[in-house]
Amino acid sequence: MQITVYNIQGEKVGERELPESIFNAPIRKDVMHQALVRQLANARLGTHKTKGRSEVSGGGRKPWRQKGTGRARQGSIRSPQWRGGGTVFGPQPRSYRKDMPKKMRRLALRSALSVKAAEGSIVLVDDVSGIPPRTKEMEAILGNLGIDGSALILMNGDNEAYENVFLAARNLVGVKTLHAAYLNIRDLLGYDTLILPVDALDVIEKNLG
């Protein structure tokens, strides 16, 4: 699969062959869904907690005697039916972690990248090393590349330009900078356009090829 390579001025400077195994793979919606559910579940802290009747303070003595008052019998003011009482079957701390084989996670990423490639939502850039860490510069570059929606910028973290690109894009709404090695299904599906410098594409080929 051939894709045009642009510079940061929006000019065509060449073409690059995208690996068919990564960018033209069979699209598995079921695997992408499973990978997304797994990522969202693993991000949950699971620290929610409510107190049962044994944990609520007070209520040690019986509110009134068992018989003769004309009222319903009660054993504690911390019973669930009382205001301020314990919660029945309330949430308790737990782990929401889900496991998924590495091969399936990679398959999900290849499927998502193939969707992006089929939609023409991948923009390949030759070099971003000269970008200064200024928001105006990043706005201009996105305009040159014809990007007006949300965008995910993948970078090779070993490149010195990573920090500058991160600083230039962090104040833009709908734009995120991410290390190519940390590519994940949530970010791939959550942004309209994928901006790939050539050295970041090499990282993807190494990890998913």
How confident is the model over 42-65, as pLDDT tens digits?
999 999 999 999 999 988 889 999
| Shared domain check, 56 and 40 | no
DSSP state of 73: P
**Residue pair 116/201 in contact by the 8 Å Cβ criterion:** no
pLDDT mean across residues, the chain: 92
What share of the chain in percent tops pLDDT 90? Answer: 75
How confident is the model over 24-44, as pLDDT tens digits?
999 999 999 999 999 999 999
Higher-confidence residue of 209 and 80: namely 80
| Shared domain check, 101 and 84 | no
| Shared domain check, 133 and 71 | no
Domain boundary among 95, 113, 132: 95
Domain limits for position 75 = 46-95
Number of domains into which the chain is organized: 2
| Shared domain check, 173 and 82 | no
**Residue pair 162/155 in contact by the 8 Å Cβ criterion:** yes
Radius of gyration of the chain from Cα atoms?
A: 27
Per-residue pLDDT, 159: 66
| Shared domain check, 170 and 198 | yes
| Shared domain check, 141 and 86 | no
**Residue pair 179/199 in contact by the 8 Å Cβ criterion:** no
**Residue pair 44/55 in contact by the 8 Å Cβ criterion:** no
| Shared domain check, 50 and 30 | no
| Shared domain check, 101 and 91 | no
Token readout for 50 is: 């409510």
How confident is the model over 135-171, as pLDDT tens digits?
999 999 999 999 988 999 999 876 678 888 999 999 9
How confident is the model over 110-139, as pLDDT tens digits?
999 999 999 999 999 988 888 888 999 999
Token readout for 28 is: 């598995």
| Shared domain check, 189 and 108 | yes
Residue 14: strand pairing partners: 5
Residue 39, domain CATH = 3.40.1370.10
Distance separating alpha carbons of residues 136 and 150, to the nearest angstrom: 16
| Shared domain check, 169 and 90 | no
| Shared domain check, 149 and 69 | no
What share of the chain in percent tops pLDDT 70? Answer: 99
Q: Whole-model pTM? A: 0.83
Per-residue pLDDT, 158: 67
Q: Give the orientation angle of helix 102-119 with respect to helix 29-42, to 10 degrees.
A: 120
| Shared domain check, 146 and 90 | no
Cα 157 vs. chain centroid, distance in angstroms?
18
Residue 105 CB burial class (10 angstroms; 0-12, 13-18, ≥19)? middle
Domain boundary among 95, 121, 155: 95
